[in-house]
């Protein structure tokens, strides 16, 4: 089984994000980047399927030159091949999806793993767009997966419950927390990954469909008020509800 895993390079979730001077992008100074956490579930699931059934696992990312760092991490986790589609500026989801789909057409994988969303821009558009470009079924937010006889049975998290769906391969699976516990790369594999080849490809240019007009950090101004639990506080609560909130 040949599996493609699409991985996105995002700021470490512990990073304090600031808006850049243009007011439309984030300030990238001092940011530590990682593989988007949902994509790690994709890598892990692909590796487990390969360990069970044989085949290959390819990791692909679209991004600037620095994106090779996450491909090295994927190689250290023991994917077989890493592909870097070079795009030097921040692009919209349509551009990235088109490029991922073009690579997938060429590779013709049995299965494509993506994260349920990338934890930077949180667009949640990529799996649906790639599936539309490829004409493949797509199952989103998958927290359990079984593959038997060319069919995938996937458990999806839906509001207040689970949904079980079945699709035939090839298909796209977008991964949710709980699917597995991603492995940590071992030191010898990290060392080996440093000298492994990364296939570089030029991106196909497309028009951008979405333009970011502005970006802002939400105000941290506290609008709640804390009262105590004394008798006087009840009176104060009534007064506030009446005079300030004007709801009684």
Ligand X SMILES: Cc1cc2nc3c(=O)[nH]c(=O)nc-3n(C[C@H](O)[C@H](O)[C@H](O)COP(=O)(O)OP(=O)(O)OC[C@H]3O[C@@H](n4cnc5c(N)ncnc54)[C@H](O)[C@@H]3O)c2cc1C
Kindly state whether residue 172 participates in binding ligand X, applying the rule CB under 6 A: no
Secondary structure, 3-state, 34-69: EECHHHHHHHHHHHHHHHHHCCEEEEEEEECHHHHH
Task: Give the residues across from 33 on adjacent strands.
Answer: 11
Task: Give the integer Cα–Cα distance in Å for 144 and 155.
Answer: 5
Kindly state whether residue 182 participates in binding ligand X, applying the rule CB under 6 A: no
Kindly state whether residue 79 participates in binding ligand X, applying the rule CB under 6 A: no
* Shorter beta-carbon distance to ligand X: residue 126 or 134: 126
* Shorter beta-carbon distance to ligand X: residue 90 or 201: 90
Q: How far is the CB of 107 from ligand X (least distance, A)?
A: 14
Q: Which of 102, 120, 157, 189 binds ligand X (CB under 6 A)?
A: 120
* Shorter beta-carbon distance to ligand X: residue 61 or 180: 61
Q: How far is the CB of 181 from ligand X (least distance, A)?
A: 18
Q: Which two tokens stand for residue 199?
A: 């296939």
One character per residue 8-27, x = contact with ligand X (rule: CB under 6 A): x-x---------------x-
Piece in contact with ligand X (CB under 6 A), picked from 110-118, 137-145, 178-186, 187-195: 110-118
Task: Give the residues across from 115 on adjacent strands.
Answer: 175
Number of residues engaging ligand X in binding (CB under 6 A): 33
Kindly state whether residue 2 participates in binding ligand X, applying the rule CB under 6 A: no
Piece in contact with ligand X (CB under 6 A), picked from 84-92, 143-151, 164-172, 177-185: 84-92
Piece in contact with ligand X (CB under 6 A), picked from 45-53, 121-129, 135-143, 182-190: 121-129
Kindly state whether residue 93 participates in binding ligand X, applying the rule CB under 6 A: yes
Kindly state whether residue 138 participates in binding ligand X, applying the rule CB under 6 A: no
Q: Which of 15, 56, 123, 206 binds ligand X (CB under 6 A)?
A: 123
Kindly state whether residue 6 participates in binding ligand X, applying the rule CB under 6 A: yes
Kindly state whether residue 121 participates in binding ligand X, applying the rule CB under 6 A: yes
8 A C-beta contact, residue 23 and residue 15: no
Task: Note the residues at the interface with ligand X (CB under 6 A).
Answer: 6-8, 10, 26, 28, 36, 38-39, 61-64, 87-93, 96, 100, 114-115, 117-118, 120-126
């Amino acid at each position: 089984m040949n599996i493609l895993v699409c991985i996105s390079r995002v700021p470490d979730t512990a990073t304090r994000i600031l808006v850049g001077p243009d007011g439309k992008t984030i300030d990238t100074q001092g940011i530590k980047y990682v593989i988007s956490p949902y994509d790690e579930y994709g890598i892990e699931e692909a590796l487990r399927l390969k360990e069970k059934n044989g085949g290959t696992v390819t990791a692909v990312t679209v991004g600037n030159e620095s994106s090779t760092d996450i491909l090295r991490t994927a190689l250290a986790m023991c994917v077989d091949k890493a592909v870097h589609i070079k795009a030097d500026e921040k692009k919209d989801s349509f551009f990235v999806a088109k490029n991922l789909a073009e690579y997938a057409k060429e590779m013709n994988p049995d299965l494509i793993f993506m994260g349920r969303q990338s934890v930077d821009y949180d667009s949640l558009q990529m799996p649906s767009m790639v599936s539309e470009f490829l004409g493949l079924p797509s199952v989103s937010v998958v927290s359990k997966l079984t593959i038997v006889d060319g069919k995938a049975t996937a458990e999806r998290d839906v509001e207040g419950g689970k949904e079980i769906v079945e699709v035939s391969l090839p298909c796209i699976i977008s991964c949710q927390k709980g699917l597995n516990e991603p492995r940590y790369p071992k030191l010898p594999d990290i060392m080996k990954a440093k000298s492994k080849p990364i296939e570089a490809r030029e991106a196909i240019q497309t028009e951008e469909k979405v333009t970011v007009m502005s970006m802002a950090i939400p105000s941290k101004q506290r609008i709640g008020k804390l009262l105590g639990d004394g008798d006087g506080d009840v009176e104060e609560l009534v007064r506030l509800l009446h005079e300030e909130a004007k709801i009684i």
